[in-house]
Chain A
Amino acid sequence: MSFLNLDHLQKSFGSTQVVHDFSLSVDKGEFISFLGPSGCGKTTVLRMVAGFEEPSEGRILIDGQDVTRLRPNQRQIGMVFQAYALFPNLNVAENVGFGLKVAGVPRSERASRVAEMLELIGLPDMAARFPWQLSGGQQQRVALARALAPRPRVLLLDEPLSALDAKIRVSLRNQIREIQQQLGITTIFVTHDQEEALSISDRIVVMHRGIAEQTGTPPQIYNQPATEFVAGFVGKLNLFDATVLDRASGLVSLAGSEIRLNRPIPPGRVSLAARPEGLVLAETGIPAEVTGVEFLGSVQRLRARVGERDIVLDRFNTDASLPQTGDRLHLSPELSRWLLVSHEQ
């Protein structure tokens, strides 16, 4: 049985429904990311798990216990907020020990747990400092230690990296993942950054307009996007105007070239698509005209026009000379990574 169950959650604010029939089962120790644009409902779901918002419908179960109507202080949950939310009047040790103090843990036990947590986040010498004396990254690490100190059953991370600069963001996300794996704590991570979600999650829930568009592992989400929204939101995507020749065998025609997808084409409106790094130049095939070239160090990015569509093609930087704007090239139709994305109804 799953450790955390979100069972048909719905949430409305007045007449506006922001979460529609959201269900998810999370295993113990799993790291799940809620990924989506602003206003998609991901933070609302997280706040319902924390107990700050009450679901209009549905249930939340942690380790078999129905916590839907419990107050946040009765749920044994740890949470890290976007803006750190450290208590400014308490020093680092007092912040980390706060949850233990309100739980009545004796002073000596509290002190050893605080020291253990500060060691875990790599700030053992910062115990006496106040929040304003720390950098953003250090503050967020202290916030993580504070959330973990009382040994919560579930850890909630509400865009914890978005207030940090790019370099710190990468190192801290790796540290968060290491600590999560070390402690084996069930974690929900809310982010609008696809790279963050792809890099540290066991599974990702891509959310859009209050519903879970797709739930899957990072490779599933990236390589097999279920909807046009997922395909467009996670990574760059080129869409092509193709004509279906045979749905059953997956045969389509694109700019005069026949493409065999070797899988049936699902009913309804679908588009043929490919990631920029999935496209390959060839001697013959789909004609394209180069409209721009960007040299990005390890990658060369070509902008091209195929029929009426503008596309992007990425290829590793090799010794081969860069194509020039106006060059006429061909794209290989023999790709293993053609995608079929369903259009929203």
Chain B
Amino acid sequence: MRTGWNWLGVLPFFVFAVLFLVLPTMNIVIGAFRNPQGEFTLANLAGLSAPRIVDSFAISIRISLASAALGCLVGFAMAAAVVMGGVPAWLKAPLMTFSGVASNFAGVPLAFAFIATLGRVGLVTMLLRQWFGINIYAMGFNLLSFWGLTLTYLFFQIPLMILIITPALEGLRREWREAAEVLGASTGQYWRMVALPILFPSLLGAFALLFANSFGAVATAYALTGSSLSIVPIMLFAQIRGDVLQDPHLGYAMAFGMIVVTGIANLAYVIMRSRAERWMR
């Protein structure tokens, strides 16, 4: 009986998960294989091979990979500087608080913030031009481009990485570094042979999360680029809400495609993690 009552505690979670995750996912998957008349079809999936949709998946994956990789790199460096570097200890609390806020700062406000700072007449763009004579747009930068969107995503990707990786870095025991050092290892050897292999599962997990975070982001991209950069979520949005392009069942197929891409990414993550963690119990 005690077990029965214990299950009651997690019931709201399961109800929530079923209503807002499992059922919608099933609806998407089923919808991807149906035509508007409700009959089984593979036409929606075949529609995914259209060049514009293939391109949208390609650009989405590239942006997600770039923003996840850069987010991991910069976030890791910042977290390492705070946890074990020479950065003053008092900086840690404000950085973590800022990261908590910034990792959730997305959508229209974030897009507006970047347009206001790095847009063609943004504050930073103008200051760079007037004070230093640097015209970033003349140098090829464009906020409404692949790198512009990647840079914007980094605003929440880097803080998210800091939040995820800081506890893992704090889990590195001082004795491991000292033992390596007294055994003759250089700092580089310690990181290569001990610290990074220990952190590798956490880094993989963080990369997978950042990839998914970027891959599914739509509001920021839509608010920033409108429809000028055809990433998958914007294309999907157009199939559901668009006036001209509307085709909900192609939208289902695209959503199904996103599930597959995320699933493959997660599968790769699980396989690599299990290899990286072979030394764990």
Contacts and interface: CB of A to CB of B under 8 A. Distances in A.
A78 B179 CA distance: 9
Nearest to A76: B184
A248 interface: no
Interface string A66-78: 0000011101111
Contacts of A130: 279
B281 A132 contact: yes
A316 interface: no
Given A50-B182, A81-B178, A87-B176, A98 B193 contact: yes
Contacts of A81: 175, 178-179
Chain B contact residues (Cβ within 8 angstroms of A): what range?
20 to 34
Chain A contact residues (Cβ within 8 angstroms of B): what range?
20 to 34
Interface in A49-94: 50-52, 71-73, 75-79, 81, 83, 85-91
B88 to A, nearest CB: 15
B2 interface: no
B180 interface: yes
A89 B179 contact: no
B279 A85 contact: no
A101 B186 CA distance: 12
Contacts of A72: 178, 181-182
A131 to B, nearest CB: 8
Contact of A150 (B183, B194, B198, B279): B183
A166 interface: no
A103 interface: yes
B184 A90 contact: no
Contacts of B179: 79, 81, 85-87, 143, 146
B184 A102 contact: yes
Contacts of A210: none
Given A89-B197, A90-B279, A132-B281, A102 B176 contact: no
Given A72-B181, A73-B186, 20 more contacts: A73-B182, A81-B175, A81-B178, A85-B175, A85-B179, A87-B194, A88-B280, A89-B279, A90-B193, A98-B183, A98-B193, A101-B193, A102-B184, A102-B193, A103-B184, A131-B279, A132-B279, A133-B281, A143-B179, A147-B183
